[in-house]
Amino acid sequence: MSDAPPANPMRAAQANMRPVLPKRFYKAAGVVERDGGFALVLDGRGARTPAKNPLVLSTLALAELIAAEWAGQGETIDPSIMPATRLANSAIDGVAQKKAEVRAEVAAYAGADLLCYRAGEPEALVAAEAAAFDPVLDWAHQAFGARLILSEGITHVAQSEASLQAIGAALEAVDDPFALAALHVMTTLTGSALLALAVAKGAVSTEEAWRAAHVDEDFQTSQWGEDMEAASRRAARWREMEAAARVFAAAGGRWGAPPSGCSE
């Protein structure tokens, strides 16, 4: 009779839920110029998206970023560590055919942007939000002519049509589907169209935007300690955010130097 401890049923169930990763079927990942863009090739053969579209990127820099993810795989192919590839697939299979709808979704965030909703107390949190949010709001006013209205708590405040139209006009300048997909990811991860636009424009760094998006969470952590599961989820989201920023830049989406007074 075995003296081994009984198996943990929860861990056993979790193990059974893990997907079986496909074996790596290629030796080398590379890039070739093809179909008006730059195609990912695996052992010389063109790769395809989940919808069976050719995986052709708009710039060489973006194609090399994707190829590096494929080259970095081990004996199996793990999509969870290929965020740029997943984003590119989404751009090709979905965003390219629905650019207007994607822009509208990003613009909708501006109508209830994270940066506009402030805590009334405690004083330390109020100050932390102001320090993180106000410079970005000031930048949006300078860059787009959008002056957004603030609200205390979660009470919805309607933004002016002029401000929303100004932000919408800025979004129209992003036409590349890969850049637009990346902007959408950054918006949904931060809850802020303004933070995503600030990263895209080079007005703040990706790290600065990420910290701003988590001011409230970081304040709570400082008061009550860190939740390890929440920290793990946040780390996974950060990898998606970082990849989206890199895809945006590699796709040629960056609009140029930040306005005076904004940090890189």
d(CA 70, CA 76) in angstroms, rounded, equals 10
Asked if 46 and 39 touch (Cβ cutoff 8 Å), the reply is yes
Domains and CATH numbers, the chain: 1-80 (3.30.2180.10), 97-250 (1.10.3580.10)
* CA 119/CA 12 separation, integer angstroms: 43
The amino acid present at 235, given as its one-letter code, is A
At 131-174, the pLDDT tens digits run 999 999 999 999 999 999 999 988 899 999 999 999 999 999 99
Q: Which tens digits make up the pLDDT trace of 217-234?
A: 999 999 999 899 999 999
User: Could you report the per-residue pLDDT of 13-38, keeping only the tens digit for each?
Assistant: 555 556 799 999 999 999 999 989 99
Report the distance separating Cα 139 and Cα 12, nearest Å. Answer: 51
